[in-house]
Amino acid sequence: MPGIRTRFAPSPTGFIHLGNIRSALFPWAFARHAGGTFILRIEDTDTERSTPEATQGIIDAMAWLGLDYDEGPYFQMQRMDRYRAVLDDMLARGLAYHDYMSEAELDALREAQMARGEKPRYDGRWRPENATGRAPPPGVAPVIRFRNPDAGVVAWDDAVKGPIAIANAELDDLVIARADGTPTYNFCVVVDDLEMNITHVIRGDDHVNNTPRQINMIRALGATPPVYGHLPTVLTPEGDKLSKRHGARGVLQYRDDGYLPETIVNYLARLGWSHGDDEVFAVDQFVNWFDLSGLHPSPARFDPAKLEWLNQEHIKRLAPDVLAARLAPFVAARGLDVARGPALADVAALLRDRAPTLVAMAEQAAYFYRAPDVTAEMTAPLNERNRAALANVAAKLAATDGTREAIAALLKATAAEHQLKAGEVMMPVRWLVTGSGHTPAIDAILALVGRAEAQARIERGLAA
């Protein structure tokens, strides 16, 4: 379906969190799956809250996740002439009208309606048919209202939520341009979705209430509405709506914390969408599988522990050289010089089963590139029985061929010679060489650290 056109239309009013960017992921995947077009549209008409930094944050987050767009970014503030032209056209065709009601009148109307137990709504007094012969009051700058149909229902088959129908009697005539002439949000979306030939609007379900109004305007303009699909809310583990206030972190924070972009895409894909029981999948796999029928209407819960688990799974799946390239900046950020130690790909291959993030992996990689400072914790396992054995290991390392196998044999033979269990030698060696009691197999570590360096670290520890 190459004719498919989808869009992500964020408002650049704050930092972009995982819940926000999920609204980009699904329309992107749908367009990519169908060989269609994905558009980025920045909805920056709230000039007080929109910032260039927020726009840049959106663009950077999309780039990091690989959510590439074919058109845009379009900026609504640069399309004001188009909105004005459509407003003029709607006025001329009687689809919209000037409303001269003052704030005070509107307030009075609202109060009277509420006193009668009615829902407050505009009463249509400046609709053309009600205002014939009435002169506009002097000094009032009018708003422009869309003339909503009076009767019938607006219905659509939501791609996520199923059939939805709203009675027109529930909708009053929407203000589409303020008294200062600026067009309002719902109107700009309609003009853009039409002029950008959007075929599928996939967005958060906080917009469900806007949809009947938008459909009415699109129909009034003589066009066919796109397909709408409203994504369920993302909740925190505690059940609150995911937001800055409720623990949401910026998308790029996950990058800095050592998450892989493929993890984030995989995780977000599973927040509201599924393909059988598949939990761990690659981005291209997701695009291949994606269809709207896999989207679920029930709220999705964000689970940081599961995200970390998934990151470990994706780390395990990367080829060592690819993983090393991802890891390199994190290692460098710790002030480690990889030129002074084993190939990073070998280190990554050894650590990848036990580091849930690149940050954790870089932390664990430190002892390959820098001898740990000797601490009391490191020398605590030393005793009269193992000191001689450790000195022996250090002395004999140079005579091995330096392979993991040869080093393992040396450790075992030396332990036996001194009537110790293998672990009674390996554990203190581990502490002295790595500064930690939890590492991968010590023979593999010594092989990577190198014989001379390992010898120096053991002897340094024994002398401390």
Q: Summarize as ranges the residues that interact with ligand GLU (CB under 6 A).
A: 9-11, 43, 189, 203, 207
Minimum separation from the CB atom of position 235 to ligand GLU (A): 17
Tokens 């027109």 -> residue: 168
Minimum separation from the CB atom of position 22 to ligand GLU (A): 12
Minimum separation from the CB atom of position 201 to ligand GLU (A): 6
Of the residues 241, 244, 316, 412, which is catalytic? 244
DSSP string, 27-41: HHHHHHHHT-EEEEE
CA nearest neighbour of 449 among 359, 393, 365, 380: 365
* Structure-block tokens of residue 252: 């790029």
Whole-angstrom Cα distance, residue 384 to residue 403?
29
Residues 6+ apart with CB under 8 A from 26: 202, 229, 231, 272, 273, 290, 295
- Among this protein's residues, is 244 annotated catalytic? yes
Pick between residue 175 and residue 426 the one whose CB is nearest to ligand GLU.
175
Q: What is the largest CA-CA distance in the chain?
A: 112
**Taking a C-beta distance cutoff of 8 angstroms, is the pair 31, 6 a contact?**
yes
Phi, psi of 440 (to 5 degrees): -65, 180
CA nearest neighbour of 161 among 275, 34, 292, 31: 292
CA nearest neighbour of 187 among 223, 145, 153, 150: 145
Minimum separation from the CB atom of position 203 to ligand GLU (A): 4
Residues 6+ apart with CB under 8 A from 335: none
**Taking a C-beta distance cutoff of 8 angstroms, is the pair 20, 14 a contact?**
no
**Taking a C-beta distance cutoff of 8 angstroms, is the pair 46, 242 a contact?**
no
DSSP string, 69-92: -SEEEEEGGGGHHHHHHHHHHHHH
Which DSSP category does 422 fall into? H
DSSP string, 175-209: EEE-TTSPBPHHHHHHHHHHHTT-SEEEEEGGGGG
Q: How far apart are the first and last CA of the chain?
A: 71
Pick between residue 213 and residue 457 the one whose CB is nearest to ligand GLU.
213
Q: Annotated active-site positions, please? A: 244
